[in-house]
Structure 1
Amino acid sequence: MDNIMKCTPLGEQKSLWLRKTLLIMKFFVLFLLLGTIPCWAGVAYSQNVKMSLDMENTTVHDVINAIEKKGEFYFTYNLNQINVNRKVSIKVENKTINQILDQLFSKSGIDYKIENRHIVLYKQAASEVEAVKQQKSINGIVADEQGEPIIGASVLEKGTTNGTITDLDGRFTLSIGKGTELIVSYVGYTTKTVKIGNQSTIKIVLIEDTKTLDEVVVIGYGTQKKSDVSGSVTSVSGDKLSKIPTANAEMALQGMAPGLSVNFGSGAAGSSATLQVRGVTSWKDDDGENSESNGPLVIIDGVPGNMSYLNPEDIKSISVLKDAATAAIYGSRSAAGVILIETHRGTMNSAPKITFSGYWGLSAVPKRLEVCNSAEFIKVRKMALINAGTDESRWPKYISEYERDPSQFADTDWQKEYYQRGFTQKYNIGYTAGSANSNVSLSAFYSKTDGVTIATGDEKFGFRLNSDVTRGKFKMGESVSYSRWSADLESNSGFSSIYQVTNMEPLAFLYDENNDGGYGGAISGMGMSDAGNQVAFNKLIDNTSSNDYIAASGYLQYEPIKGLIVKFNASRNMYFGKSRLFKPTYEIGAAKRNTMASLSESRSQTTNDLLELTANYDKTIAEKHNLSLLLGLSQEENKYEDLSASGSDFENNSMSLMGHAKSNYSVGGTKTRSALRSLFGRVNYNYMMRYMIMASFRYDGSSRFAKGNKWGFFPSVSLGWNIANEPFWENLKETVSMFKFRLSYGALGNQNIGLYRYIPTLSYNNHALNYPFDGRETSMGYAITAFPSSDIKWETTVYKNIGVDISLWNNKLELSAEAYIKNTSDMLSSRNISLATGYNSSILVNDGKLRTTGFEMQAIYHGKAGGLKYDLDLNLSHYKSVLKSMANPDYLYEYGALRTYVGGEIGEFWVYQTAGIFQNQAEVDEWNTAHGYKDQNGNWQPLQPVAKPGDIRFIDQNGDGMLDTNDRVKVGSGTPKVSLGFNINLAYKDFDLVANFYGDFGAKRYNYTKYQLERMDHVFNYGKNALNAWTPENPDTDIPRAVSGDPNKNSRTSTRFVENGDYLRLNNLQIGYNLPVKYCKKMGLSNLRIYVGATRLFTITNYKGYDPSTGSSVGQMGYDYAAIPLSRDFMMGLKFGF
């Protein structure tokens, strides 16, 4: 009791530390807000407030008084300088204070400055007055090709910083010099330059931009024009992701980028996706797989982060770096690819804007498996017992009792009771603003999703603050975010929840008020088995988890000379994890009892600190040579610690705190620390956008390796040639605007080997380490049980990539294709060592090799037909990963029907091959006469000695006369041959439609659920297929006979359970309506969009299991281990701004 009570203050201390950290973060955010308010508060008020004035032949003083009364402004001026008795006439309607003051003091020699509500009037210098006399006021409207006003378009006087933005009507007023030019721009439209003559009013029409060559993509530590990229990068805009309603940013990415695999192991509450870039990168034989080594590095606003905690609405763009040329700048962390994420930031000289979006929906599983009801279960069970020759006196009592009186049993549809129709909701609110030298973006979100299974669900909320301030040659800014995730998770007795739900006997009752807990199960005295009442487990067991994520980063940037930018960046990311599992006492039927309550709790904290210093120099020489140089230093430190405790034997189920436990105490904890220090650089050069070369390197030093192996050097180079910019291509330019070849080569490292592999580690609390010191008792001891692997070094992946990019017909059609090879060497592999060393273990060496090959293609078409605009995006990808060598040439990793071995593909299905069903005893005898072997006594041993008519015939592949694991054959892989994404965006007048398809082709799936429902060696429920089992009267079936105990092992791992895993799914469908601007204006809004949609609306597949897309981890791809399927969701939502 004392030991466990000591644990409680530790947990409180951790919680107190978290509260203190959150409090510090709150003050930090408050400080940042207070620091940035002066930069944009004036803009926030002065540009939001509009007023109307109609005053004839009055004084400036009277106008000032009117403004102060209407707009809560107050003026300061020197009466000796400002003639407020000057007669004026002014008539304005719904104008900003800037527009009113410009008109009031036009050509008067008076200027003004606005700080929030404070307006200072002052006399211009003589030179300024002369400049004012040379100016004129221009009024205009900016519209699109359909005549709709464009809100927020930038209007800038060429060669100056004098500018404004259009209002809700697309109108603007600007004082400009005579004979000047205006530059008008807006996102998604081509920038237009207009020369102003004598006119005082003007209408400017912007044309939608279909040109993508000058699109800027994010690369490591910078940006680059898409036309200049010579490496492999795929970009996805945040606008596309925002049309996919989800609280999970990873889920929105599926099918959006070729080469990026987004897989889901389960649809259960709290489940996350598995991301892979271009297949498998590493294989660790000591744990079967290493997800850390095969998952891409995620960088959010320049800092390593976690996409699971990111609000999709905050994303501005995502770039996927897929080859060494683009990823090498991140060195040892980037062997499996890099995902760069930019979040929304405010823009300079932009009016304050508030946006809100929300959606609401219902979710449910798309299908349920067909299982037997009570009467059908009794029928199959009887048939199995009869075929097994079991004497009726040994039959379970429930069979005769059911036939005598079925009313004493239930007929429970366990899937119906277990699955629920969940409600989901999500809300986002954002604010952006910008002044001449600063900008700010602030957002917050909340989401709550009910799980598709009873008593489960998760909840998320968080906020993000981004701001930037420019002062002369200095620029500084920060990003601060906080998010929290909490979930009520699945609870079960140790088996898969789906296994228990589908296999639970329908005879059992869901509820039983006589049981402890009130739930039913196997009926006492009836001889019933009990797979488990999963509804009861979910309801009674408290299984919760939560994570808090805090990320804070800031930068200071200095430009000492034109083109040279020196930047310092510092960040800290913190994760706080918490879990609780309380199993109360309960009695769920005759077979499921828990007589002693137990509790397990854990707390964890991860801290990632990063300091970076970079210098970037950009120079254009003679308008032909474009040069960009980057040099940087980086220092990263990662710390982790956790604390866990468990106990049992509580006084009652209401007393469920750890301090209430009375026995079986256990306390554990871990603390680790690692660091990475790096020097990196890059040279980027292109000549007239024809010839491109990019070379980069990273020199990483990691604490995970022993002295002498800590440092690794990872270089890369890429070349590009855009033939379309050659002089001889000029006549083809209108048809083919870009024809670019790309070639890249480079090496990347991998430090994910574990933290202390090179240090001898001690073991404790091992019964083999008991030492008898006094002849009567044994004392626990410490001993070095693992041989240190001090010589292990960096795992290295060498990439080779070749690609081509083509743009046709003024970039309406964009085509790209590329092929790649990545060879991973020096992978960790176990080698056995002699027992003479004193170690009963193996040693890790760098002997493993892996080879992944693949190709990708993408076609994007931007089109118009009348009033219809459309974008079509089709992408295809393929990869194959083969294990080339390990320290043990006979290495074999098995997971059920899956195998990974030297020379084979990662995750192949190896199963017994079936050859139909024996129809009569003559076929059995003939088969066993032809197949078998003679034992040492010369006696014939048939291949299937206990086979009977109705049993499955299995093939002896090696002809040794025995059926064993050597007779398994390869029947495919869980890795698809081709993955497809097809994305459609349509817009017609005020309506729009988005459809996102995704599919996998050429993959196999092992249907473990089918195995459970058709096997005869258990006594639980069956699938309805079992009703079609072989009988002499029903010979035309592929379901073997029902026989208790399954003597012929018909349910062994075989081709019977391997199915075609091809599928094509409509992942997302959304239809929206955008309210015309003129109606939005009447409501005080700048825009309003409402929509209805559905996710996973349909799936085209022949797969008989729940979901062909589950089973996603490396080495276990395609193994459908009775996972909860992904939900189908119907929802409606809206988005508006003002």
Structure 2
Amino acid sequence: MQKMKGRRRTTIFRPGLMSNLIIYYKLINYKCMDNIMKCTPLGEQKSLWLRKTLLIMKFFVLFLLLGTVPCWAGIAYSQNVKMSLDMENTTVHDVINAIEKKGNFYFTYNLNQVNVNRKVSIKVENKTINQILDRLFSKSGIDYKIENRHIVLYKQATPEVEAVKQQKSINGIVADEQGEPIIGASVLEKGTTNGTITDLDGRFTLSIGKGTELIVSYVGYTTKTVKIGNQSTIKIVLIEDTKTLDEVVVIGYGTQKKSDVSGSVTSVSGDKLSKIPTANAEMALQGMAPGLSVNFGSGAAGSSATLQVRGVTSWKDDDGENSESNGPLVIIDGVPGNMSYLNPEDIKSISVLKDAATAAIYGSRSAAGVILIETHRGTMNSAPKITFSGYWGLSAMPKRLEVCNSAEFIKVRKMALTNAGTDESRWPKYISEYERDPSQFADTDWQKEYYQRGFTQKYNIGYTAGSANSNVSLSAFYSKTDGVTIATGDEKFGFRLNSDVTRGKFKMGESVSYSRWSADLESNSGFSSIYQVTNMEPLAFLYDENNDGGYGGAISGMGMSDAGNQVAFNKLIDNTSSTDYIAASGYLQYEPIKGLIVKFNASRNMYFSKSRLFTPTYEIGAAKRNTMASLSESRSQTTNDLLELTANYDKTIAEIHNLSLLLGLSQEENKYEDLSASGSDFENNSMSLMGHAKSNYSVGGTKTRSALRSLFGRVNYNYMMRYMIMASFRYDGSSRFAKGNKWGFFPSVSLGWNIANEPFWENLKETVSMFKLRLSYGALGNQNIGLYRYIPTLSYNTHALNYPFDGRETSMGYAITAFPSSNIKWETTVYKNIGVDISLWNNKLELSAEAYIKNTRDMLSSRNISLATGYNSSILVNDGKLRTTGFEMQAIYHGKAGGLKYDLDLNLSHYKSVLKSMANPDYLYEYGALRTYVGGEIGEFWVYQTAGIFQNQAEVDEWNTAHGYKDQNGNWQPLQPVAKPGDIRFIDQNGDGMLDTNDRVKVGSGTPKVSLGFNINLAYKDFDLVANFYGDFGAKRYNYTKYQLERMDHVFNYGKNALNAWTPENPDTDIPRAVSGDPNKNSRTSTRFVENGDYLRLNNLQIGYNLPVKYCKKMGLSNLRIYVGATRLFTITNYKGYDPSTGSSVGQMGYDYAAIPLSRDFMMGLKFGF
């Protein structure tokens, strides 16, 4: 037990613990000043990133200096400090307290040996601590030892004890199964209080009686009892106790033993995430938890991942809010937050709540699941500790598409024009000019020029400390990543402070964090950058000093097309964005009676975002000009306030009934406002402030506010750890609905039965330690419907709203432009979940499987209204239904083989989401080749089906004779009237003799049938290896980039596949003939561009070396790990596009619309502590 008052600390060891404490204090007597001074040479570096990093570190070290000055005072302090005492008829305990208060010392002693209740009187004037202690403990049999400010009291050895010690002295070492020494292991003589702890090398020396036994223990390992014979030395190996691994999981507003959980929860430890080098916490989660999808829209700088728990939860047909409605609620240290601004190194654990039983406590925001994140906090009674980690790496594009060079481009263009019957006199001039003199043209590899090798770096520094009743954790980080495309990249930095203080029945604490993200983003002229890079003609020059801006493009007078010089756009256009994120929360906790905890929590999260887009004047070739510079800027502020009051009561009755009750109130308010402005016509490109604009001014702004008020509760009960029941509810009131529909009630219940705890299972317990069945049912809500749908919407300053008065010119006005949907209410998702958890062989193998159904009802959908109302629009009603079904499995194995220790984690998940109904039964959403409709799966591919290539005119004639229709005049109209040999044959699916959208067929979905995560952790002696695999199987992908590179109805560059186009001499190909204009529409949306999207990727590979403790000790460190690694090292796939994983969003899964791929990174790093 420890207790602290102010800056004083007393460590008291209760009976049964070790009495030899001096070694322990040597372990924590860090030479802080020496280690900090080793950092100063870094200040000589002059690069920008390092100066920023050092600035953060300076503030951080300043905090450490202020908070840990006492640990650097040295032994001289005890020799120099003097004090006076005058205390009559008091206790030793009171004198110790007085010494701690006046001298800033702290004491350690064993209550079995030191009688602190002994009555004493002491009067000293200006005496040293040694003189005072000599007088205080004179003739008491108590001795002391002073190290720095630590004073250890212990009982003087008696002759009898000495005799015992002379009987036997044992020297030993305590190690784990890999032979690594265990520091701080307890070694206790059985039946006595005689004991010690191991030093930094795992060694100990203890005097014991003959024929005795030693009890050796350490947290996380099985306690071992060893009988001592005649030997004087011994090596003791402790076995890791897998029962202690992951015993507690975080649930809403509390924690629960893993064996007691009856709902669906998956936990991921921060230790696993810390070995994935990334500044993006969301990215590190891919493949870590079954049922959690991590989707990437793009690998461009500034892009972030989107999370989805158990598939699609809601579908909206009018406002594009599908992503918001399908994203999980993220709770960071009890407060709604944003993972994008969270440093992965700060994460202690993540819990994914996946069913109604676990998520219903969050009510209206939990329909799409909940992700609970705990950040690192300090621990009580812990010595100050500093950690540092960092990595450096290079990133690059993992793949480039094969496109034509200049000579190949000319060859395909000639072939296409010839097949189209175009006379050579009408050919573009660049063809003849190139054949006459190729040197007047470029041969630009636009992908090579646009993609770059980027440098990435990240640094983390952390500090933790704890006393008997307080703890603190402080961390800071900095990261900078160059984008894989030229002139792009992003930068992040921030800090986090967590602390807790306990005073009697009160406990309070806070969490404060700040982070800043800024990025130089992609810039373009209205088209995807990948589209422009792959389609840009290789004939065009990258640079041209004669052009405004200095960049090249299509050559004037040559008839060249110009997709756009994307290098120029990125370099000339200033497109930046940044966000400052501040999160602050504090709590006050009171325990009036044992087991009852009342807690008040208050928090505020604030986002300050700004963006800037300045497009200067430029001339990039003959086809791309901007003669008037323009500027757009925006500022926004988001504020989220939360107040919560909870009461939690835990009670165990007769050691067999375990009851936990929770009741809480919550009030949340969200405010948002923005201001935007734009202008153009600047004097020159250097004068690019908004005040310099001369024309086309525009100013706009938005201000919104919403609130949520809630009552929630939960009952958790288990009987003898066999039968479990959990029931919870949340009653939410939201400002997003009209009166009468504001409140929603969301209950849930779950049952669990751990058969392995039944008496009849006793003989199987050693093999199957847990066999738990789980069942849950409940309702969750969704309020993400927009803020003001239930009231009329007014619009101002539009062309339709200009009113003339008295024949004068028109005036601005307001008008209602959207019909109010006053009857809209909560969307509700009803969950059914069944699962089983099995643990075998002392938890070496952990298995879990579950299946679920979630039905969403009352989804918002649009219903047309009569024009007689005066509105040419629709009204929102709660008529939509969606059904998602799925299953998940996970297997975790902890194994050892010789000196090798390994953990294997395999998880699989599957889901399918079907739209069951909408207000309009003929509802159809189309996005290119994708369709979502009533009765179908979300995001199906519907395309024309091909049937090979016509090899000769006879095949064309035969096909058109058999397929077609008669028009109203009785004339035969062939199915493909302009088809020629080399064109694609398309199937008339409905047999009406025409090719139209009704002939499209379903060929699959962009949603994977199975998603797989496979995570490997190996350790052998001082080496370790981490490998994280992820894969999707059973999905289709529409390769839009292939469509762009093989289509013949434009005159941009082609893929090299075009060189393999059909000709009479090259009939064995699946590439149709090259023909300008594509009269047969060979490039229409068809099975030609739908590919197998299966892939398996090695997301992360890391090989580390841990310096042995004895060498760390010589360097003043507690640990040191160095490693090398790579991300996305390889991908096994047949997909021909850039990346089979990008371009994924709700309703558009699998549609690869020229998304920038994720980079491949190679890096090295280190981590150490002291």
TM-score normalised according to structure 1 size: 0.89
Partner of 1:711: 743
CA distance in 2, matches of 1:532, 1:1119: 23
Alpha carbons of structure 1 residues 931 and 571: separation in structure 2 relative to 1, 3 Å: same
- Quote the Cα distance in structure 2 between the aligned partners of 1:135 and 1:70: 44
Q: Displacement of 1:774 after TM fit?
A: 3.0
Cα distance change on mapping 1:722 and 1:278 into 2, 3 Å: same
The 8 Å contact of residues 517 and 579 in structure 2, kept in 1 or not, is answered as yes
- The 2-side partners of 1:91 and 1:1081 are apart by 43
Measure the CA separation in 1 of the matches of 2:233 and 2:136: 19
- Distance 1:401-1:133 versus aligned 2 partners, 3 A rule: closer
What's the counterpart of residue 25 of structure 2?
none
Q: Note the C-alpha offset of 1:775.
A: 2.0
Partners of 2:948 and 2:119 lie apart in 1 by 105
Q: 2:623 aligned with 1:591, yes or no?
A: yes
Deviation, 1:306, is 0.5
Q: Deviations over 1:210-241 (max 9, x none)?
A: 22577100011111111110000001111111
Asked whether the 8 Å contact 1:358–1:1133 carries over to 2, the reply is yes
The answer as to whether partners of 1:1030 and 1:1042 remain within 8 angstroms in 2 is: yes
- For the residue of structure 1 that corresponds to 2:168, the secondary structure is strand
Partners of 2:83 and 2:185 in 1: how far apart? 22
- Please tell me whether residue 998 in structure 1 is matched to residue 1030 in structure 2: yes
For the residues of structure 2 that align with 1:526 and 1:653, how far apart are their CA atoms? 29
1:212 is matched with 244
Tell me the CA shift for residue 258 of structure 1.
0.4
Contact 1:36 1:440 in 2 (8 A): no
CA distance in 2, matches of 1:636, 1:121: 53
Q: CA distance change for structure 1 residues 214 and 762 in 2, over 3 Å: closer, same or farther?
A: closer
* Map 1:671-710 → 2, pairs under 5 A: 671-710=703-742
Helix, strand or coil for the counterpart of 1:14? coil
TM-aligned CA distance change 1:349 to 1:176, over 3 Å: farther
C-alpha change, 1:820 and 1:27, in structure 2 (3 Å) is: same
Counterpart contact for 1:734–1:810, Cα < 8 Å: yes
Cα distance in 1 between the residues matched to 2:743 and 2:34? 47
Whole-angstrom CA distance in 2 between matches of 1:11 and 1:164 = 43
Q: Secondary structure at the match of 1:515?
A: coil
- Equivalenced residue count is 1138
Q: 1:58, 1:87 within 8 Å by CA — same for their partners in 2? A: yes
Shift of 1:189: 2.9
Q: CA deviation at 1:207?
A: 2.7
Aligned equivalents of 1:795 and 1:93: distance in 2?
A: 77
Deviating more after overlay: 110-119 vs 1081-1090: 110-119
Contact residue 213 and residue 227 of structure 1 kept, 8 A: no
Residues 769 and 126 from structure 1, CA distance in 2 versus in 1: closer, same or farther, beyond 3 angstroms? farther
Q: How many Å apart are 1:1006 and its aligned residue?
A: 0.1
**Partners of 1:678 and 1:52 in 2: CA distance:** 59
How far does residue 335 in structure 1 lie from its aligned partner after superposition?
0.4
Q: Does the Cα contact within 8 Å between 1:4 and 1:659 map onto a contact in 2?
A: no
CA contact (8 A) 1:370 1:1023 kept: yes
Q: 1:132 to 1:1054 in 2, by over 3 A?
A: same
**Greater mean deviation of Cα atoms: 475-484 or 18-27:** 18-27
Q: Please tell me whether the aligned partners of residues 8 and 659 of structure 1 are also in contact (alpha carbons under 8 angstroms).
A: no
Contact preservation (8 Å) 1:152, 1:351? no
* Shift of residue 480, structure 1, vs aligned partner: 0.7
Give the CA deviation at 1:168: 3.4
1:75–1:890 CA distance, 2 compared to 1 (3 A): closer
Any conservation in 2 of the 1:299–1:305 contact (CA below 8 Å)? yes
Give 1:106 deviation, angstroms: 10
Over 3 Å counting, the alpha-carbon distance change for 1:130 and 1:1097 in structure 2 is closer
- Percent identical among aligned pairs is 99
Classify 1:626/1:961 alpha carbon distance in 2 versus 1 (closer, same or farther; 3 Å).
same
Alpha-carbon spacing, 1:191–1:332, altered in 2? closer, same or farther (3 Å): farther
Q: Residues 165 and 207 of structure 2 are in contact (CA less than 8 Å); yes or no, is this contact kept in structure 1?
A: no
Q: Deviations over 1:467-524 (max 9, x none)?
A: 1111111111111111111110100001000000000000000000000111000001
Gaps of 5+ in 1: none
Pick aligned residue for 2:127 from 71, 95, 111: 95
TM superposition shift of 1:781 = 1.3
Check 1:66–1:901 CA distance in 2 against 1; reply closer, same or farther (3 A cut).
closer
CA contact (8 A) 2:792 2:820 kept: yes
Deviations 1:524-546 (A, max 9, x none): 11010100000000111000111
Distance 1:1124 1:1060 in 2: 19
Given that residues 487 and 546 in structure 1 are in contact (C-alpha distance below 8 angstroms), is that contact kept between their aligned partners in structure 2?
yes
Matching residue of 1:1093: 1125
Contact 1:976–1:1000 at 8 Å: present in 2 too?
A: yes
* Alpha-carbon separation, structure 1, partners of 2:36 and 2:107: 68
2:242 aligns to what SS in structure 1?
A: coil
Contact 1:39 1:435 survives alignment (8 Å): no
8 Å contact from structure 1 (residues 40, 439) kept in 2 = no
1:908-936: CA deviations, max 9, x gaps?
00001111111111111111111111111
Aligned to 1:50: 82
Deviations 1:1056-1084 (A, max 9, x none): 00000000001111111111111111111
**1:905 to partner: Cα distance:** 0.2
Judging changes above 3 Å, is the alpha-carbon distance between structure 1 residues 46 and 820 closer, same or farther for their aligned structure 2 residues?
A: farther
1: distance between equivalents of 2:68 and 2:38?
Answer: 46
Which deviates further from its counterpart, 1002-1011 or 757-766? Answer: 757-766
- Give the SS at the match of 1:479: strand
Q: Where does residue 958 of structure 1 map in the other structure?
A: 990
Q: Which residue of 1 aligns with 2:72?
A: 40
Residues 406/858 of structure 1: CA separation in 2 closer, same or farther (3 Å cut)? same
Contact in 2 for aligned 1:259/1:278 (Cα 8 Å): yes
Give the structure 2 partner of residue 64 of structure 1: 96
Moved more, 1127-1136 or 36-45: 36-45
Check whether the contact 1:43–1:433 (CA below 8 A) recurs between aligned residues.
no
Change (3 A) 1:824 1:149: same
Q: Is the 8 A contact 1:7 1:645 kept in 2?
A: no
Q: Deviations over 1:982-1020 (max 9, x none)?
A: 111111111111111100000000000000000000010
Cα distance in 1 for partners of 2:284, 2:783 equals 29
Give a deviation string over 1:768-800, Cα, whole Å, max 9, x none: 112121324111211111111110000000000
1:684 offset after TM fit, Å?
A: 0.6
Q: Could you say what secondary structure the match of 2:738 adopts?
A: coil
CA offsets per residue over residues 543-564 of structure 1, 9 Å max, x none? 0111111111111111111111
Contact 2:220-2:245 within 8 A present in 1 as well: no
Q: Indicate how the Cα distance of structure 1 residues 1087 and 26 shifts in structure 2: closer, same or farther if over 3 A, else same.
A: closer
C-alpha displacement of 1:178: 18
Distance 1:144 1:550 in 2: 43
Q: In the superposition, relative to structure 1, how do residues 162 and 320 fare at CA in structure 2: closer, same or farther (>3 Å)?
A: farther
Superposed CA deviations along residues 1021-1047 of structure 1, whole A, max 9, x for unmatched, are 000000011111111111111111111
CA deviations over 1:163-215 (Å, ceiling 9, x no partner): 99866345799999999999986554346799999999999764312225771
Q: Report the secondary structure of 1:470's partner residue.
A: strand
RMSD: 8.3
Q: Structure 2 residue aligned with 1:744, among 760, 776, 782?
A: 776
Structure-2 change in CA distance of 1:1110 and 1:924 (3 Å): same
1:1066 aligns to what SS in structure 2? strand
370 and 97 in structure 1: CA distance in 2 versus 1, 3 angstrom threshold: farther
SS at match of 2:576: strand
What pairs up with 1:657-676 in 2 under 5 angstroms?
657-676=689-708
Query: Deviation digits for residues 43-98 of structure 1, max 9, x if unmatched?
Result: 99999999999999999999999999999989999999999999999999999999
Q: 1:395 & 1:54 partners in 2: Cα distance?
A: 110
How far apart in 1 are the matches of 2:1136 and 2:97?
78
Write the distance in 2 (CA, Å) between the matches of 1:82 and 1:809. Answer: 46
Cα deviations across residues 794-844 of structure 1 (Å, max 9, x unaligned)?
000000000011111111111111000000000000000011111111000
With 180-189 and 358-367 compared, the bigger mean Cα shift is at 180-189
Shift of 1:688: 1.0
SS at match of 2:259: helix
Relative to structure 1, is the Cα distance of residues 716 and 34 closer, same or farther in structure 2, using a 3 angstrom cutoff?
Answer: farther
User: CA separation of 1:94/1:406 partners in 2, compared to 1, >3 Å: closer, same or farther?
Assistant: farther
CA contact 1:39–1:438 (8 Å) conserved in 2: no
CA separation in 2, counterparts of 1:772 and 1:246?
Answer: 60
Q: Distance in 2 between matches of 1:91 and 1:927?
A: 117
Conserved 8 A contact 2:56-2:476: no
Report the CA distance shift for 1:614/1:76 in structure 2 as closer, same or farther (over 3 A): closer
Quickly say closer, same or farther: Cα 1:1134–1:81, change in 2 above 3 A: closer
Q: TM-score, normalised by structure 2?
A: 0.87
* Cα gap change, 1:87 to 1:579, in 2 (>3 Å): same
- Report the counterpart of residue 153 of structure 1 in structure 2: 185
Q: 1:696 to 1:883 in 2, by over 3 A?
A: same
